[in-house]
Structure 1
Amino acid sequence: MTKALFYLGHPAHFHLYKNAILSFPSDEIVVCIKSKDVLETLLKESGIEFLNIDSKSSGSKKNKIRIILNFSRRMLKLMGIILKHKPQRLVGSAAELGVLGKLLNIPSFILFEDDFEKVASFARIAGPTATYLVCPDCCSAWKWNHKKLGYPSYHELAYLHPNHFTPDRKRVEKIFDLSVKNFIVRFSELGAYHDVGKTGITDDIARRLIKILAEHGKVHLTSERNLTPEFEPYRINIRASDIHHALYYAEMFIGDSQTMTAEAAVLGTPAIRFNDFVGELSYLEDLEKTYHLTSGVRTDDPDKLFQVLDAYLSIENIKKEWSSRRDKMLLEKSDFSKTMQWLLSCSPKDIDCLKKIEELERFR
């Protein structure tokens, strides 16, 4: 019997769902993916079997027509797999699962961190069709809050909570010279449905960042998009499964990626985000305004980016200060991996069981 179908569309989804996937016998689940950055590599390194339903759309030039065509093609492929395996529930962060769950009368659990109002195209599909909308308690499910299952945590604490992640110096000492400060700079592809019209770190800004950071230590670039030749010497050469160890030992993270900003923040690494979603996403606002683990700057104010960077660089023993801030955050957040395993152990119709994910003490 197939208890669950998981659908992964981003490397962060691998980390998010990994522990839940591994909690099931392999013959009780189906894992489907669409290619994105290092997602396939992570799955292969972990030994998790998967079906790739879209190996072409990642990295292709995005426009609304292409996004709709890719969505429709994935829907058809997923439908065939669902009809073959007959899973008891559909689990993932993609709107396709809500639609197919509604059509095939299978409960769907859509997990997300971006407030629905800010990803309206996604929300208008997932909101009406999903059975449950699972998100941090600080996030909004917009018109569909009656479907919301909120929990006191973040996606990133499914895999970076101390219960699951122990930093290992040996996994980064061949990459980092740990006798100096190491800075990680991240360039995102910004090619998802919610990224249309959004911008991040340009080449000009990257040059300025590298020049400043190089005066304080060593700069390491990680990028979803193609790098121009001048930046290649800075590209970090690291196994996909080791990036979180690098983030932990980095002095600072600067990037235009939501996910890696949040990952750095929950690891206690000072993080600066530069993109057009700043001020719009509640979970990152929570990390910034409640726990002071990250700072966000919108792209229409690049001067502020360098002001924030200068302020961070001037803080003595910044990693020690951020470690204390992280400890406070961890006291007030649950281990989301435990939360998710509980969620998937409940009958999809047992709302009292499902609602227990709201409890902090149960899932520390």
Structure 2
Amino acid sequence: MRILVFANTPAHVHLYRHTVDRLEDAGHDVRVLTREYACTTDLLEFFDMPYRVYGGHGTDRYSKLRFARELGGQVVTIGREARRFDPDVIFGRGPYAAYAGTLTRTPVVLVLDDEPGDFNYAVSRPFADCILSPAVTRRDLGDAHYTFEGFKECAYLHPDVFERDEGVREYLGVDPDEPYVLVRFNALDALHDATLEGFKPEQRRDLIERLSEHATVFVSDEGDDMDLDDLPARSYDLHPALIHDAMAEASLLVADTGTMATEAALLGTPAFRYRGTDDHEYGEFQELERAGLAEQFDEYEAVLERSLEVLTDDDAAARWQRRREAYVADLVNLSDLLVEVAESRGAVDGLSSSTRGSLQAKGREQPQL
């Protein structure tokens, strides 16, 4: 079989990397189509994934007009690559996978989460043969929509998949018992982030200064526009492939972005997300809050106060790990599911009975076994 995968962001690379490895090991031909964005191609190189670049995407603020122009130039390359590869099934999300599937008359599998905005859903849903999303997703995307117990991050952070590299402390230059915090600042450059604001510049500085009184602070600045020279913090400069190992060893993650906060929560690290002006209710975060693994805040002072409280709580790390172990044990290993869906060419009826039993038809009864 020939499987085409769209990996447009670093998170997409992690989502599919174990699936791609296993499909290649099984003798299938896999091609990843990607764009130059942040560290996406660095991760593809690190994990030795077979990829082709179809375009680029900056980390500055995007308008809908600019996005439309960018997309218009990229569809030509996507179409050429898709026709040459002639896939049997396509994985992705949004207009990229939808267009490639329509052009090549190939089944399309969308792996979605509870993102804000309607654009990705509107342009891709009519062309999808199978839509997979976490059970906590609040949208009903029609008859092809199936949900699973877990998160898209379970493709690479499920306990059956993830093994932390404890050597990450040595790479970071911190002692075995030295507490450290990861602070993540979002570039807010995606189309659905165009009108949002996270931490303000003065809040960023204050947050770093206050946290540094209790722990070593590492800053991951997606926009790469923050000067740390006069601040008590270090830039997180390890290879991006090691970020989950660094999260797993951290005492706390504070962010104004969703993906890394979700990842930290699933690793059992206290994960605090500052919402800023983002008033969208994410089903994934509501579930992680219910499990006591993540917390969201509307006010800057609240996230700061709670962060300092956790950093001075000697039992916090053990408490979060107990919650994590109890919660993730029953979640679906998403890589197992994606491999089987690929080999069935996106047909749920072609899955094994046990795999079909792990899926719920959104808004309908359980699929027949």
TM-score normalised according to structure 2 size: 0.89
Q: Is 1:152 aligned to residue 157 of structure 2?
A: no
Could you tell me which residue of structure 2 aligns to residue 16 of structure 1? 15
Find the residue that maps to 1:33 and give its secondary structure. strand
CA shift digits 1:130-178 (9 cap, x unpaired): 2221111111334x23221211111111111221211122133231333
Q: CA deviation at 1:216?
A: 0.6
CA shift digits 1:267-299 (9 cap, x unpaired): 00000011344661101211112x11011123x
| One-letter amino acid of the structure 1 residue matched with residue 7 of structure 2 | L
Could you tell me which residue of structure 1 aligns to residue 92 of structure 2? 92
Q: CA, structure 1 residues 216+318, in 2 after alignment: closer, same or farther (shift >3 Å)?
A: same
Q: CA deviation at 1:4?
A: 0.9
Could you tell me which residue of structure 1 aligns to residue 4 of structure 2? 5
Could you tell me which residue of structure 2 aligns to residue 193 of structure 1? 191
CA distance in 1, matches of 2:46, 2:175: 25
CA shift digits 1:1-35 (9 cap, x unpaired): x5210010111111110011112237611111012
Residues 1-364 of structure 1 aligned to structure 2 (within 5 Å):
2-25=1-24, 28-55=29-56, 57-115=57-115, 118-142=116-140, 144-175=141-172, 176-230=174-228, 234-275=234-275, 276-277=277-278, 280-289=281-290, 291-298=291-298, 301-351=299-349, 353=351, 357=355, 359-360=357-358
CA distance in 1, matches of 2:354, 2:54: 34
Q: CA deviation at 1:127?
A: 1.9
Q: CA deviation at 1:60?
A: 4.2
CA distance in 2, matches of 1:345, 1:278: 39
Q: CA, structure 1 residues 353+104, in 2 after alignment: closer, same or farther (shift >3 Å)?
A: same
Q: CA, structure 1 residues 10+178, in 2 after alignment: closer, same or farther (shift >3 Å)?
A: same
Of structures 1 and 2, the one scoring higher in RCO (CA 8 A, sep 6+) is 2
CA distance in 2, matches of 1:355, 1:277: 40
Is the 1:5–1:30 Cα contact (8 Å) retained in structure 2? yes
CA distance in 1, matches of 2:336, 2:259: 20
Find the residue that maps to 2:31 and give its secondary structure. strand
Q: CA, structure 1 residues 281+30, in 2 after alignment: closer, same or farther (shift >3 Å)?
A: same
Is the 2:23–2:339 Cα contact (8 Å) retained in structure 1? no
| One-letter amino acid of the structure 1 residue matched with residue 198 of structure 2 | G
CA shift digits 1:171-213 (9 cap, x unpaired): 3323133332100000111111111101112221111111111
CA distance in 1, matches of 2:237, 2:179: 17
CA distance in 1, matches of 2:256, 2:44: 25
Q: Number of paired residues?
A: 353
Q: CA deviation at 1:40?
A: 0.9
Would you tell me which structure has more helix in proportion to its own residues? 1
Is the 1:186–1:256 Cα contact (8 Å) retained in structure 2? yes
CA distance in 2, matches of 1:352, 1:140: 26
TM-score normalised according to structure 1 size: 0.90
Is the 2:129–2:347 Cα contact (8 Å) retained in structure 1? no
CA distance in 2, matches of 1:163, 1:350: 23
| One-letter amino acid of the structure 2 residue matched with residue 200 of structure 1 | G
Is the 2:93–2:120 Cα contact (8 Å) retained in structure 1? no
Is the 2:214–2:312 Cα contact (8 Å) retained in structure 1? no
CA distance in 2, matches of 1:72, 1:355: 42
Q: CA deviation at 1:58?
A: 2.2
Task: Extract unaligned runs of 5+ from structure 1.
Answer: none
CA distance in 2, matches of 1:354, 1:132: 16
Q: CA, structure 1 residues 354+135, in 2 after alignment: closer, same or farther (shift >3 Å)?
A: farther
Taking only aligned residues, the RMSD between alpha carbons, in angstroms, comes to 2.2
CA distance in 1, matches of 2:187, 2:354: 37
| One-letter amino acid of the structure 2 residue matched with residue 187 of structure 1 | F
Deviation larger for 30-39 or 170-179:
170-179
CA shift digits 1:196-238 (9 cap, x unpaired): 1011122211111111111111000011112332358520221
Q: CA deviation at 1:331?
A: 2.3
Q: CA, structure 1 residues 348+210, in 2 after alignment: closer, same or farther (shift >3 Å)?
A: closer
Find the residue that maps to 2:19 and give its secondary structure. helix
| One-letter amino acid of the structure 2 residue matched with residue 24 of structure 1 | L
Deviation larger for 326-335 or 181-190:
326-335
Task: Extract unaligned runs of 5+ from structure 2.
Answer: 360-369
CA distance in 1, matches of 2:185, 2:251: 18
CA distance in 2, matches of 1:148, 1:84: 29
Find the residue that maps to 2:170 and give its secondary structure. coil
Is the 2:171–2:238 Cα contact (8 Å) retained in structure 1? no
Find the residue that maps to 2:23 and give its secondary structure. coil
Deviation larger for 210-219 or 337-346:
337-346
Find the residue that maps to 2:177 and give its secondary structure. coil
CA distance in 2, matches of 1:37, 1:271: 23
